[in-house]
Amino acid sequence: MSTERDLPMALRAAYLSLHRVSDASFASYGVTADQFVLLATLSQGQALTQRELASRMSSDPSTVRAMLVLLDHGGLVKRQSHPSDARAKTVALTAAGKRKLQQLWNASQQIRDKMFGCLEPSDAGTLVELLRRVANALTEENVASLVALTNSTSVN
Amino acid sequence: MSTERDLPMALRAAYLSLHRVSDASFASYGVTADQFVLLATLSQGQALTQRELASRMSSDPSTVRAMLVLLDHGGLVKRQSHPSDARAKTVALTAAGKRKLQQLWNASQQIRDKMFGCLEPSDAGTLVELLRRVANALTEENVASLVALTNSTSVN
DNA sequence: TATTGTTATACTCTATAACTATA
DNA sequence: TATAGTTATAGAGTATAACAATA
């Protein structure tokens, strides 16, 4: 049993499956799976700065900015000056964005049903907890030593 | 307890963390995380057709083909006519590809150590099993009903 | 007829680096 | 000096559809 190979591949397979079926179910709404994640993240914390938004959705500011341009164009999101920090902008859902998110949430309910349907109730919690531990262990800070070591190792 | 929101996001966060640190640790070798997955998949089943390769790495034939062009250019992979099916091509690692894969495996050992270091030995197996169940539940066949329903639902 | 792979094409996400304007 | 966001730029992965060759 080579769990060492299997865990990374299983993680990849599960995520890509989720991403793929999500993209498919959102396509007719003109929204991607990643854009859905952005909208859903906003709905849980209005008036985030772009950096905070990027951090919460495991992305980076540059990527988020590109996504926001698209969503802004579609009228789903609005950006305003931060009240106390003139450098920053706060991002929030528009009314249309909230309606769209509700539609997307409904459209993807069947995906979540499939996900939870194959798990015992207690398994779902376990899975979340284990995934969080893994994500945490693989933070850039935690693997920073890795970069240094890799660079000092003979390459090629 | 909104596990319903949390599980998809935790899955996303864990995978993207893994992908990011992998990309970082492979960058100096001129290889991406996804290319590493392709090479590693080949090492476990030489002479796969491109379709099989795509399926095993949770990708699609068109994407795999684009990746193979890059890897072929770098001399890490070779494609040959399938012995019994003239339409198909078999893909295999070259000698250079095998050497490179060994380097990449070593370079990424610390990532796996971090992953498994945060889990009890039994947790690792549990995690793999739960992820496989989820991935399986989210196969296109299993969510095919979803597509039909989504299309018949009023959009926008 | 169905399938393997190729080609053309396009778009999203990703990410680095240089820049500005503020803090 | 450090930080928030923008801009320019580049590349990778993703995916669809039309096509040729073969099964």
Burial of A62 (0-12, 13-18, 19+ CB in 10 A): exposed
CA B149 to C1' C16, whole Å: 42
Alpha helical stretches, state H, B31-120: 33-43, 50-56, 61-73, 95-107, 109-117
CB count, 10 Å around CB of A120? 10
The answer to whether A137 contacts B114, with C-beta atoms less than 8 Å apart, is yes
Beta strands in chain A (DSSP E): 48-49, 77-81, 89-93
B16 touches strand C (CB under 7 A): yes
pLDDT digits (tens, 9 = 90+) for A20-71: 999 999 999 999 999 999 999 999 987 789 999 999 999 999 999 999 999 9
The answer, yes or no, to whether residue B86 has pLDDT greater than 90, is no
What is the pLDDT confidence band of residue A146, given thresholds at 50, 70 and 90?
A: very low
C-alpha distance from residue A21 to each of A3, A82, B125 (Å): 26, 36, 26
CA distance A50 to chain B (A): 18
In total, the C-beta contacts within 8 angstroms joining chain A to chain B are: 212
Closest chain B residue by Cα to residue A16: B58
In this complex, the answer to whether residue A49 has its CB under 7 A from any atom of chain D, a nucleic strand, is yes
Which residue gives the smallest C-alpha to C1' distance to D17?
Answer: B62
The span from the CA of A34 to the CA of A19, in Å, is 8
Which pLDDT score, from 0 to 100, does residue A139 have? 87
Q: How confident is the model at residue A117 (pLDDT cuts 50, 70, 90)?
A: very high
Position B155 pLDDT exceeds 70: no
Laid out side by side, the sheet with A89-93 consists of: A48-49, A89-93, A77-81
B52: closest CA of chain A, how far (Å) = 15
Nearest alpha carbon to residue B68 among B35, B96, B46, B104: B35
Strand D close to B41 by CB, under 7 A: no
CA distance A19 to A13: 10
Nearest CA-CA partner of A8 in B97, B43, B41: B41
Average pLDDT over residues B113-117: 96
User: Distance, in angstroms, between B40 CA and closest chain A CA?
Assistant: 9
Contact B21 A130 (CB under 8 A): no
Answer for A82: CB within 7 Å of strand D: yes
